[in-house]
């Protein structure tokens, strides 16, 4: 994990450029055995909140106690995507179960933290799985604060490198339907935005999508950084 000061430096830049929420993520399965990391994350959260920004993190699965600690540190929102429909999920993900994901969302909600949960399009699913994803999220005990719509960015050397790009109409249909079934939820355009033309992005934001993720830099691939 990068240093606390490196994160705070990036947060200051984001604040100076008009950001109102700062998001941080770590590619962990869960937080077991990561007490030092959790302590550092809580410091980051507290310091960034002191800058006047909201803070969102995604750290994998967390239990009720960890969720409460993050809440006490001032965390605004926690992202934990369900990714796809329950039926299609085991075909692409084996490191954790669908119910484990839903349990993390419950822990976050019970701690009083805003829930951010959505999915990824382009994993090889079909349109019925898009409906299944929306059904899962829309029938949670309460609608999430945010619903991020990601489009798979196929990386060479990964199992899904040969997947077809998501058709714009399918992505747009997901965004529009999410707005209808979860009218108070913020629909966020996330990974894969760089695959869209400027005209397509304008069209998405014109009536359905309310915000997007922005990265100052991304050394691995064009996702949602500058110029996207």
CATH value at residue 202? 3.20.20.70
Residue 28: inside a domain:
yes
41 and 147 in a single domain? The answer is: no
174 and 115 in a single domain? The answer is: yes
Residue 103: inside a domain:
no
178 and 128 in a single domain? The answer is: yes
pTM: 0.85
Q: In this structure, what is the dihedral angle of CA atoms 93, 64, 131, 186, given to the nearest 10 degrees? A: -120
Residue 4: inside a domain:
yes
Residue 222 in this model has a pLDDT that exceeds 50: no
- In b/e form, how buried is each residue of 162-186, taking b as 16+ CB within 10 angstroms? eeeebeeebbbebbebbbeebeebb
Count each helix (H run) and each strand (E run) in the chain, helices first.
7, 8
**What's the pLDDT tens digit per position in 183-205?**
999 888 877 666 766 777 776 77
Residue 102: inside a domain:
no
- Asked if residues 55 and 21 have their Cβ atoms less than 8 Å apart, the reply is yes
Domain range for residue 26? 1-79
Bigger pLDDT: 91 vs 203: 91
Measured distance CA(110)–CA(113) in Å, rounded: 7
Which residue from 134, 161, 160 is spatially nearest to 149, judged by alpha carbons?
Answer: 134
145 and 182 in a single domain? The answer is: yes
Q: Give the range among 98-107, 169-178, 218-227 with minimum mean pLDDT.
A: 218-227
Measured distance CA(57)–CA(47) in Å, rounded: 14
**What's the pLDDT tens digit per position in 125-180?**
999 999 999 999 999 999 999 999 898 887 888 887 788 887 888 888 888 899 88
Q: Which residues contact 125 (CB under 8 A, 6 or more apart)?
A: 84, 85, 88
Residue 225 in this model has a pLDDT that exceeds 60: no
- Alpha helices in the chain, H assignment, sequence order: 4-16, 35-50, 64-73, 98-110, 127-138, 168-181, 198-207
Measured distance CA(162)–CA(159) in Å, rounded: 8
Maximal CA-CA distance, the chain = 46
At residue 220, the pLDDT reads: 42
68 and 121 in a single domain? The answer is: no
At residue 27, the pLDDT reads: 80
**What's the pLDDT tens digit per position in 17-75?**
998 989 998 888 777 778 888 999 999 999 999 999 999 999 999 999 999 999 999 99
Side-chain-facing half-sphere of 53: CA atoms under 13 Å? 24
At residue 80, the pLDDT reads: 96
188 and 201 in a single domain? The answer is: yes
At residue 29, the pLDDT reads: 76
7 and 24 in a single domain? The answer is: yes
37: left (phi over 0), alpha (psi -120 to 50) or beta: alpha
φ and ψ at residue 107, rounded to 5 degrees: -60, -40
90 and 182 in a single domain? The answer is: yes
**What's the pLDDT tens digit per position in 77-88?**
999 999 999 999
Residue 101: inside a domain:
no
At residue 108, the pLDDT reads: 97
175 and 188 in a single domain? The answer is: yes
Give residue for tokens 């700062």: 22
Question: What's the number of domains the chain is made of?
Answer: 2
Residue 221 in this model has a pLDDT that exceeds 50: no
**Residue 17: which CATH number?**
3.40.50.1100
């Amino acid at each position: 994990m990068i240093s606390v000061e490196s994160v705070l430096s990036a947060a200051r830049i984001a604040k100076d450029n008009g950001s109102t929420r700062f998001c941080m993520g770590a590619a962990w399965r869960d937080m077991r055995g990561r007490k030092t990391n959790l302590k550092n994350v809580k410091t980051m959260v507290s310091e960034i909140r002191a800058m006047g920004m909201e803070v969102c993190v995604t750290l994998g699965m967390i239990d009720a106690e960890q969720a409460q600690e993050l809440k006490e540190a001032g965390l605004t929102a926690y992202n934990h995507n369900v990714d796809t429909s329950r039926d299609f999920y085991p075909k692409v993900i084996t490191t954790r179960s669908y119910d484990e994901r839903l349990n993390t969302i419950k822990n976050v909600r019970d701690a009083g933290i805003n829930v951010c949960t959505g999915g990824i399009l382009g994993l090889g699913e079909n349109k019925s799985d898009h409906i299944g994803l929306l059904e899962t999220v829309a029938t949670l005990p309460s609608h999430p604060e945010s619903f991020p719509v990601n489009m798979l960015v196929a990386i060479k050397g990964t199992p899904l490198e040969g997947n077809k790009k998501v058709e714009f109409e399918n992505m747009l249909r997901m965004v529009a339907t999410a707005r209808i079934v979860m009218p108070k939820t913020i629909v966020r355009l996330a990974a894969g935005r760089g695959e869209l033309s400027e005209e397509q992005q304008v069209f998405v934001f014109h009536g359905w999508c309310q915000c997007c993720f922005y990265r100052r830099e991304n050394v691995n691939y064009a996702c949602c950084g500058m110029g996207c």
